[in-house]
Every structure is written in C-alpha cells, then in structure tokens.
Structure 1
Amino acid sequence: MKPVNPDPLAQLTEIRAIMERSSRFLSLSGLSGVGAGVVALLGAATGHFYLQSRYPDGYLRLIQSSMPERQAALPFLLLLAGGMIGVALLVAFYFTQRRTRHNGQPLWSRPARRLVAALAVPLVTGGLFCLRLFLGGDAAMVVPGLLVFYGLALLNASKYTLDEIRWLGLTQLVLGLGCLLLPGWGLIFFALGFGLGHIGYGLLMYNRYERTATAGPDAKTVVTQ
C-alpha cells in the first residue's frame, strides 16, 4: 500500500512553530502579569498614604516641592520602588519557571536572554533619566517618564516574545502621554498603567494561552506553545 503523503500545510505550521520556539520566548505566564499588577497597586497605595502623612496635598505637594523636600522623601521612594521591583521579579520568576517546566522548555534560553536584554536597556535608561528629573526639579515628569520608557521597553521586547506584549506597551505609552497633560494625577496613571494594565494583560494571556492548556484531558482544546 502506498504511504499517504503528509499534509503540506500541517508541515509548514509545524516548521513555523519550531522556528518561533527557537527565536522567541513564548513561556511568559499571564499570572506573572497579574502578580506584578497587584504589587504595583499595593505600591501606589503605600506611596499615597506615605505622601498624605507627610504633605497636606500628598502627591500634588511632592511634585511642587523644593529640592530639600524631594531629597528628604527620596530614600523612602527609592526603597519603595526597589521593593516593588524585587517582589514583582520574584513573582514573575516563580510563575514563568512553572510554565517553562510545564512546556518542557529551559527558562534561561537564548530567546529569554534576548528578551531580558531588550527590556533592560530602555528600563535602566528610563530609571536613571527619571531619577535625574526628580532631583532636577521636574518631579511631575517622573511618572509620565516611567510609563513612556516602560512602554518603549515592551515594544522593543515584543519581537522576542508574545505579540500581545506590543499592545501592553502601546497602552503604557498612551497613559504616559496622557499623564503629561494631567501631571497632578500621576499616582492614578501609575496605578492604571503598572497596576490595572498588568492585571488586564495577565488575565487575557492566562485565559488565551494557559487556562485551556492546564485544564487536563477533558479540555476541548489545548493551546500549545
């Protein structure tokens, strides 16, 4: 009996999937985004209550404060920012490692290293730039700067991971530009971008890529990466 030729379309699909796995990091967990968003909301709330206890007008007073006042608040703000980044990275590491194990892929692969490098350059540059803004008397531009640089970092990294990262990056850019028009609402824009933006993205990615993949043999469809 003559062997049946395999479906060329199926072969092309499989080749494309193999090429994507070798060039892009596809094991980002949506739960990492949810966790980062929760951390950002808690951090924004902590910053709000701290500033309210220090100044009558809270954040609005901070962005209009003198150099000595900003320098006095800087150690707490740096500690808060460092704590948020550290906890968010731990959450991301935990859920992403769990997903890479589920997919049978290495965590620190070549695509993962490219992804980290693409994120790190704009983020480090933006962090130092915003610190200089804060110390130089342009504190109102710090939150817009953080959102814009983070959005650029996500856009830069989107070619090494899931395409949906690009939309999260564009969201951050739009919020950053909006915050330029309403600088007194900086904490609200921070919570929207880093908090609710991450949570919405994370839930979308979890439902799209992970939920059915972990639903077990009774799931109607299984999403594979």
Structure 2
Amino acid sequence: MKPATDPLAQLTEIRAIMERSSRFISLSGLSGVGAGVVALLGAGIGHVYLREQYGEQGFYRLLNSDQGQRMAILPFLLGLATAIILFALVVAFYFTQRRARQDGAVLWSSLGRRLALSLAIPLVAGGLFCLQLYMKSALGMVVPGMLVFYGLALLNASKYTLDEIRLLGLTEIVLGLVAMLLPGLGLAFFALGFGLCHIGYGLLMYNRYERTPQS
C-alpha cells in the first residue's frame, strides 16, 4: 500500500519548481552588501575631492558653479561613477556566481540574460539623461534622477527575480523624489540610496535566504 502524499507539500514543491524556471532566485544578499559598501566608499571619495576643490560646502558649491568649473570637474565625476559601477558589478558577480553554483543554477542562462537586459535598458537611459542634466546646469536633479531611474530599473527587473527587489526599487524612487526637494543634500542621498539601502537590503536577503540556521 502506497503511503499517502501530502497535497500541501506537493503544491509547495510545484511552486518551487515554477519559481526556479521563471525567476532567477540565486541573487546573493552579499552582493547588495558589497555594492553598498562600494557606493559608500565612492561617495566618501567624492566628498573629499569636492571639499578640496570648493571647501567645506563642496557639493553645494558645485551646484552653484559656472559652466567652466562644471566641465573641468566632469572627467573626475565620470571616472568615479565608472569605477563605482565596475567595482559594484565585480562584487555582485562574484557573490551571485558563488550562490548560483551552490544552488546548481546557471548564472548566464536565458533567464539571467533577460534579468540583465531589463536592468540595463533603464540604467543606460537614466545615465544618459542624468549626463544631459549635468551639461544643462540642472545639477541638483542629477542624483534624484539617478535614484529614480535606478528604482525603475529594479522594478522592471523584479518580474524575473525575487519579490524583495520590487521593494528596494520603490524605496529608491521615493528617495529620489524626496531628494528633488533637497538638492543641496544630493551626495547624502546618494550614500543613503546606493549605499545604506543596498547594505540593508543585502543583510535582509542574506538572513532570509542564505544564512544557515543554527542547530
């Protein structure tokens, strides 16, 4: 006589199989922590550089600088932004690849490519838009624009991965909208949105999905 099967257990197993086939669930919380640390370091470097250039109120002075001053400092800002993105991607790739191997998943699968593309389109569009804001003297809207577009990218990608990404995306959008009202605190909002929020999200995800329960 065959043992009775638990319908609830069967439904749970079916749901897990469907999630693995339709969503990339091997994102590592440590990727978020690492990216947040990189962003905080980048914000700190930017603060020190602007203070050396403009004095104690470096970022605020940059907002009120003339076109010549803005263009002179643009190569440094672009270089810093590029370094932050590259280091954050390296950290995210390392930890996510490690978790994907533990889960027996393939990182660069068709699902992974769709996730990357859904992130990349809003990010590239937002980066070009924010560069134009800088060139057109709307410096106070650059950081809010970065936060809003990043939040939209996360929302766009959330349909391919964990639901918590949607919450992080909404948080980034709200921070961007608030930052529009306080342009002089743009660097602080950058550190909060890309740094502390990433770290908080990463710790939440690590404790929820990756941390080994204590026996």
With the shorter chain as reference, the TM-score category is over 0.9
Q: What is the rounded CA distance, in whole Å, between the counterparts of 2:146 and 2:137 in structure 1? A: 16
Q: Secondary structure at the match of 1:178?
A: helix
Aligned to 1:168: 168
2:212 paired with 1:204: no
Any idea what the Cα deviations from partners look like across 1:50-85, whole Å, max 9, x if unmatched? 111111330011111111111100000000000000
Q: Secondary structure at the match of 1:157?
A: helix
Aligned to 1:223: none
Any idea what the Cα deviations from partners look like across 1:162-201, whole Å, max 9, x if unmatched? 1011111111111101101100000000000000000000
> TM-score w.r.t. structure 2 length?
0.97
Q: Secondary structure at the match of 2:5?
A: coil
Q: What is the rounded CA distance, in whole Å, between the counterparts of 1:157 and 1:88 in structure 2? A: 17
> TM-score w.r.t. structure 1 length?
0.93
Aligned to 1:133: 133
One-letter amino acid of the structure 1 residue matched with residue 133 of structure 2: L
Q: CA deviation at 1:97?
A: 0.6
- After the TM superposition, list the runs of 4 or more consecutive aligned residues in structure 1 that deviate by more than 6 angstroms: none
Alignment of 1:1-225 (within 5 A): 2-56=1-55, 57-212=57-212, 219-220=214-215
Q: What is the rounded CA distance, in whole Å, between the counterparts of 1:64 and 1:134 in structure 2? A: 12
Q: What is the rounded CA distance, in whole Å, between the counterparts of 1:42 and 1:95 in structure 2? A: 19
Structural RMSD (CA): 1.0
* More moved, 104-113 vs 136-145: 104-113
Q: What is the rounded CA distance, in whole Å, between the counterparts of 2:159 and 2:63 in structure 1? A: 36
**Where do 5+ consecutive residues of structure 1 fail to align?**
221-225
Q: What is the rounded CA distance, in whole Å, between the counterparts of 1:210 and 1:116 in structure 2? A: 22
One-letter amino acid of the structure 1 residue matched with residue 35 of structure 2: A
Q: What is the rounded CA distance, in whole Å, between the counterparts of 1:210 and 1:193 in structure 2? A: 23
Any idea what the Cα deviations from partners look like across 1:83-104, whole Å, max 9, x if unmatched? 0000000000100011011111
Any idea what the Cα deviations from partners look like across 1:2-58, whole Å, max 9, x if unmatched? 212422222221111111101100000000000000000000010011111111330
One-letter amino acid of the structure 2 residue matched with residue 183 of structure 1: P
Q: Secondary structure at the match of 2:162?
A: coil
Q: What is the rounded CA distance, in whole Å, between the counterparts of 1:6 and 1:207 in structure 2? A: 31
**Where do 5+ consecutive residues of structure 2 fail to align?**
none
Q: Secondary structure at the match of 1:123?
A: helix
* More moved, 48-57 vs 131-140: 48-57
One-letter amino acid of the structure 2 residue matched with residue 51 of structure 1: L
Q: What is the rounded CA distance, in whole Å, between the counterparts of 1:5 and 1:187 in structure 2? A: 61
